[in-house]
């Protein structure tokens, strides 16, 4: 695949347990609850690209949402490209621990995506 891949996703649901059970039953995914994070961690089979996922209950947002995380090597450079190409930075790049950084942005039509610079990228 050419370019930066989607490496993770998260689903904010009105009922995280019900959503997790849905993906278990329909797609036969492993969806254990992570006590430390307080989220369900999705372990979908197949290709490593887009294999990581999280399911959790809404806390601050009013509506359910799905966020796709695009893996990048240089989050600051990509942040500049987002702005230069008509996007809007929703949350500036910040550290989430273990050497990872994320940044949320809107593409020009207003849809929110996220970038993640993983440890060692």
Give the span between the Cα atoms of 58 and 99, in whole angstroms.
26
Give the span between the Cα atoms of 13 and 77, in whole angstroms.
32
pLDDT in tens, 5-62: 888 888 989 899 999 999 889 878 888 999 988 889 887 666 555 557 888 888 777 7
Domains assigned to the chain: 1-69 (3.10.180.10), 72-121 (3.10.180.10)
75: pLDDT confidence band, cut at 50, 70 and 90? Answer: very high
Higher pLDDT, 81 or 51: 81
8 A C-beta contact, residue 42 and residue 29: yes
What pLDDT is recorded for position 21? 92
């Amino acid at each position: 695949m050419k370019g930066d891949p989607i490496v993770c996703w998260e689903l904010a649901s009105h009922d995280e347990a019900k959503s997790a059970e849905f993906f278990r039953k329909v797609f036969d995914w492993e969806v254990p609850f992570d006590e430390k994070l307080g989220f369900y961690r999705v372990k979908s089979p197949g290709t490593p690209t887009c294999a990581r996922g999280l399911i959790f209950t809404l806390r601050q947002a009013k509506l359910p949402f799905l966020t796709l995380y695009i893996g990048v090597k240089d989050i600051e450079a990509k942040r500049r490209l987002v702005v230069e190409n008509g996007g809007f930075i929703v949350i500036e790049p910040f550290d989430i621990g273990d050497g990872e950084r994320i940044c949320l942005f809107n593409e020009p039509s207003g849809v929110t995506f996220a970038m993640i610079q993983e440890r060692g990228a």
